[in-house]
């Protein structure tokens, strides 16, 4: 084995670990998406501060599932779909869990279509002289071309920095609320931690599915770990003490990465929720298909003044397009992996696989563009994907629990405290999923 392919020794100090994470960690973790920008404010607008505790729970508990999926990939070098195919139970070519994933994957295309509609609405509101369908088609074409030719580094960097700035501005807006008629009081916070649930759970469940690390991000996380080179640096599991030390060191890297990210996106999500609860709920506004962007803009306009409309539009555009872009690139890679796992096609070489990814980078934008042109209801489209992700979460949680007990390498075995928190996470996700199902079926028995 040459030096370039040899496993890399595990980082042993926190400073070394942070250096290994790379400069993109904070930027990546700061990016908000449709869950934070659309669904979370809508939830706040609908029920006020009541579910503040639920938002925090939804962001934090998923990290345990994320790290369990990452742990197995670190030790075995498998993709998420390959890992899911190992889950016991009924099989039809692949595991039952993969067929559930396929349904969720299709629903996430609806979600991206909804974000496309939001992006088109922003550009129309900004004065672009074209209709929403024309703008949406142009965005789809641009995205496909950029991903296929691979010339998108400048756009990627620029949109990332704009999203970071928008996230910071949103957090500042929460502080600025205290100097407006919409100030957040102790009574509001007490209401937020009353641990009560609203009469209708639909919006809350949709938010739970995609805030923080959504189900789709949980599934893509091990791919990110593979592309980051974590599994390569650990090397094949050979049972030696040296391998165990490397694996534990890179597991610490993943843990720091995940928890720092969690702290950042939880703060960003709370900022959007508090703005929705304080401003939109107080004004009696709801985030609907007809006026999604104008309604959301009130969160800035009522806080900073009329001049901030343009600040909101630029930031919201950066959020939506960066999410569209990353989701499309991620889905293209997932599709290529799915073709192999579902035994549709075997890629003999890395070049063949990359060629398939490029084709999917062209086809996926066509799918979400057509969906938006046919449906044309951005909030509804986002909710389709959000609810599907929420329904997938309990199954991912159960899979993570099975991996921890049945497939964890002895060198990476977890302690009692970690398993207790993993159980809490699994029980909460399963309970929330069952509650949503019962809530939907209740009218049938009344």
**Residue 29 scores a pLDDT above 60:** no
- Tell me: the pLDDT tens digits for 419-437? 999 999 999 999 999 999 8
Name the CA dihedral angle for 390, 395, 396, 399, rounded to a multiple of 10 degrees: 170
Nearest Cα to Cα of residue 110 among 384, 389, 388: 384
Residues 14-439, CATH architecture: Up-down Bundle (1.20)
Taking CA atoms, 200 is separated from 16, 196, 206, in Å, by: 48, 12, 12
pTM for this structure?
Answer: 0.90
* Residues 64-92 pLDDT 10s: 999 999 999 999 999 999 999 999 999 99
Averaged confidence pLDDT in the chain: 88
CA 269/CA 287 separation, integer angstroms:
17
pLDDT at 344: 95
| Separation CA 330–CA 215 (nearest Å) | 13
Percent of the chain with pLDDT over 90: 72
More confident residue, 22 or 215: 215
How far is C-alpha 84 from the chain's CA centre?
Answer: 19
pLDDT score at 213: 81
pLDDT per position as a tens digit, 211-256 = 888 899 899 989 888 888 888 889 998 889 999 999 999 999 899 9
């Amino acid at each position: 084995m040459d030096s370039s392919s040899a496993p890399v020794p595990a980082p042993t100090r926190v400073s070394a670990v942070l250096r290994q994470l790379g400069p993109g960690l904070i930027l990546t973790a700061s990016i908000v998406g449709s869950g934070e920008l659309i669904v979370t404010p809508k939830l706040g607008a609908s029920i006020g501060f009541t579910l503040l505790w639920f938002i925090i729970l939804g962001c934090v508990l998923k990290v345990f599932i994320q790290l369990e999926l990452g742990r197995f990939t670190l030790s075995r070098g498998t993709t998420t779909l390959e890992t899911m195919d190992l889950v016991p139970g009924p099989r039809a070519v692949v595991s039952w869990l993969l067929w559930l994933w396929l349904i969720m994957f299709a629903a996430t295309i609806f979600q991206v279509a909804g974000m496309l509609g939001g992006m088109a609405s922003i550009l129309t509101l900004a004065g672009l002289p074209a209709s929403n369908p024309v703008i949406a088609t142009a965005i789809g074409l641009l995205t496909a071309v950029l991903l296929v030719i691979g010339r998108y580094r400048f756009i990627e960097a620029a949109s990332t920095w704009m999203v970071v700035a928008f996230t910071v501005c949103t957090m500042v807006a929460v502080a600025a609320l205290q100097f407006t008629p919409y100030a957040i009081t102790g009574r509001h916070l007490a209401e937020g931690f009353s641990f009560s649930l609203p009469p209708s759970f639909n919006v809350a469940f949709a938010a739970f599915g995609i805030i923080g690390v959504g189900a789709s991000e949980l599934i893509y996380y091990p791919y990110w770990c593979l592309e980051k080179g974590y599994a390569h640096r650990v090397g094949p599991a050979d049972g030696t003490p040296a391998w165990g030390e490397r694996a534990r060191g890179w597991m610490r890297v993943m843990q720091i990465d995940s928890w720092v990210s969690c702290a950042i996106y939880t703060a960003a999500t709370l900022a959007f929720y508090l703005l929705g609860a304080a401003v939109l709920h107080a004004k009696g506004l709801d985030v609907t298909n007809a006026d999604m962007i104008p309604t959301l803009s009130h969160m800035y306009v009522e806080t900073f003044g009329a001049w901030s409309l343009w600040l909101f539009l630029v930031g919201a555009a950066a959020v939506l397009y960066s999410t569209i872009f990353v989701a499309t690139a991620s889905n293209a890679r997932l599709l290529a992996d799915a073709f192999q796992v579902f035994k549709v096609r075997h890629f003999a070489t890395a070049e063949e696989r990359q060629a398939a990814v490029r084709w999917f980078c062209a086809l996926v934008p066509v799918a979400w563009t057509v969906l938006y042109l046919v449906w044309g209801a951005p909030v509804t489209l986002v909710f389709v994907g959000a609810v599907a992700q929420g329904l997938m979460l309990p199954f991912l949680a159960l899979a993570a629990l099975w991996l921890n007990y049945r497939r964890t390498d002895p060198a990476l075995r977890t302690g009692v405290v970690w398993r207790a928190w993993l159980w809490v996470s699994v029980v909460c996700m399963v309970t929330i999923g069952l509650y949503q199902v019962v809530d939907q079926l209740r009218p049938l028995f009344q």
